[in-house]
């Protein structure tokens, strides 16, 4: 029983995932995105066993379940299939903990087919199986475009082998990943692609330092009391770039002593500096302050481009 919370508009994710699940013989509940309280009601009443959504919306659903008093033992969810935006290993653990499911990554892009280019299996602990009978993957150096060997990170490139009417030849996805050729524990010998760590075009350059939002997320998800909702705001003061990181904290911590909040803010700032080599200002905000998304979360506001 598959609950499809991807959008059903012109976005390829909703319909692509719908028809794929039906092809497998599953029953699909076409809820689409949004209407969070209704999503939870349907999830409970219909006994949904699989959730399809962006990872950020899965966390949004988990928070809303707490608000309406629905507990995990009232649900039958077993697995979540989450894609359409980059998400870290720490965020996966957060989704699994809050929803009590096995969270799997799926990869696709509208220019190639939509969903269905690559997918994790429950046995894989290193990457998504690329469906090589339809898509030929490569990793290239994003600067020189030279092919890179398995295991090295670079830009993901695809050639379609069976796509009709609109074939794609060596299409640069702008996604940063790496390929693994070793056989998976499930027995499949398809090449696997690592979780996308960022894009060559959403990389922020702050005073000469390359910063990916996923790196900031990695820091935040490792700190107790920090909620999995954040936003990065980049501004330019004079000739210098500045980076502010807005982070939601738990209700308990937000109402704690000022010294505690200041200490937590300094810790986050220090860990971001240690990992990324860039100084930022951390602003701790109360729960539900950062706007929620029914699709892809808006992680970056770059005011330098305005």
CATH number, domain containing residue 178: 2.30.38.10
Q: Are 94 and 222 in contact (CB under 8 A)?
A: no
* Mean pLDDT over each residue of the chain, to the nearest integer: 91
Residues 8 and 103 occupy one common structural domain: yes
Residues 297 and 209 occupy one common structural domain: yes
Question: What tokens appear for 7 in the block?
Answer: 């959008």
Residues 269 and 222 occupy one common structural domain: yes
List the one residue out of 85, 107, 4 whose CA is nearest residue 51: 4
Q: Are 118 and 129 in contact (CB under 8 A)?
A: yes
- pLDDT-derived band at 27 (thresholds 50, 70, 90) equals very high
Give the total number of structural domains in the chain.
Answer: 3
Of residues 214 and 4, which shows the higher confidence score? 4
Residues 57 and 85 occupy one common structural domain: yes
Residues 178 and 208 occupy one common structural domain: no
Of the given ranges (128-142, 188-202, 260-274), which has the lowest mean pLDDT?
188-202
Has residue 201 got a pLDDT over 70? yes
Residues 90 and 196 occupy one common structural domain: no
Q: Are strands 300-302 and 281-285 parallel, antiparallel or unpaired?
A: unpaired
Residue 1 DSSP code: -
Has residue 257 got a pLDDT over 90? no
Q: Give the pLDDT score at 233.
A: 94
Of the given ranges (60-74, 128-142, 199-213, 263-277), which has the lowest mean pLDDT?
199-213
Instruction: Give the pLDDT confidence of 92-112 residue by residue, as tens digits.
Output: 999 999 999 999 999 998 889
- Coil/strand/helix, residue 257: coil
Rounded average pLDDT over 63-87:
93
How many CA atoms, within 13 angstroms, populate the side-chain half-sphere of residue 211? 30
> Domain containing 256: what range?
204-305
Of the given ranges (268-272, 273-277, 295-299), which has the lowest mean pLDDT?
295-299
Q: Are 21 and 4 in contact (CB under 8 A)?
A: yes
Q: H/E element holding 272?
A: helix 258-276
Can you name the residues that pair with 135 across neighbouring β-strands?
160
List the one residue out of 167, 144, 172, 177 whose CA is nearest residue 157: 172
Which residue bears the tokens 């379940």? 65
Q: Give the pLDDT score at 293.
A: 74
Domain of residue 33, CATH code: 3.40.50.12780
pTM for the complete prediction? 0.79
Domain of residue 271, CATH code: 3.30.300.30
Helices (H), 88-143: 89-99
Rounded average pLDDT over 17-32:
96
Can you name the residues that pair with 109 across neighbouring β-strands?
114
Q: Cα angle vertex 38, ends 32, 41, to 5°?
A: 120
């Amino acid at each position: 029983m598959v609950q499809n919370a991807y959008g059903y508009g012109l976005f390829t994710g909703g319909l692509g995932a719908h028809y794929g699940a039906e092809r497998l013989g599953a029953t699909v509940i076409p809820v689409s995105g949004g209407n969070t309280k209704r999503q939870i009601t349907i999830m409970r009443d219909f006994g949904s066993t699989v959730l399809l959504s962006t990872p950020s919306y899965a966390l949004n659903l988990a928070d809303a379940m707490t608000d309406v008093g629905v507990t995990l033992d009232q649900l039958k969810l077993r697995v979540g299939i989450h894609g359409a935006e980059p998400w870290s290993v720490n965020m996966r653990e957060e989704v699994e903990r809050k929803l009590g499911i096995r969270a799997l990554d799926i990869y696709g892009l509208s220019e190639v087919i939509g969903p269905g280019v690559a997918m994790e299996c429950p046995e894989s602990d290193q990457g998504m199986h690329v469906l090589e009978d339809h898509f030929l993957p490569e990793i290239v150096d994003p600067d020189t475009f030279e092919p890179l060997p398995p295991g090295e990170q670079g830009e993901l490139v695809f050639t379609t082998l069976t796509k009709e009417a609109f074939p794609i030849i060596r299409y640069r996805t702008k996604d940063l990943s790496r390929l693994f050729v070793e056989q998976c524990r499930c027995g499949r010998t398809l090449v696997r692609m690592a979780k996308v760590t960022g894009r060559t075009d959403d990389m922020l350059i702050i005073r000469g330092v390359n910063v990916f939002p996923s790196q900031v997320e990695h820091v935040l998800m490792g700190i107790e009391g920090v909620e999995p909702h954040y936003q990065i705001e980049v501004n330019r003061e004079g000739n210098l770039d500045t980076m502010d990181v807005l982070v939601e904290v738990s209700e308990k911590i937000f109402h704690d002593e000022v010294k505690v909040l200041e200490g937590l803010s300094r810790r986050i700032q220090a860990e971001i500096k240690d990992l990324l080599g860039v100084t930022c200002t951390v602003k701790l905000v109360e729960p539900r302050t950062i706007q929620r998304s029914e699709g892809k979360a808006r992680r970056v506001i770059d005011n330098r481009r305005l």
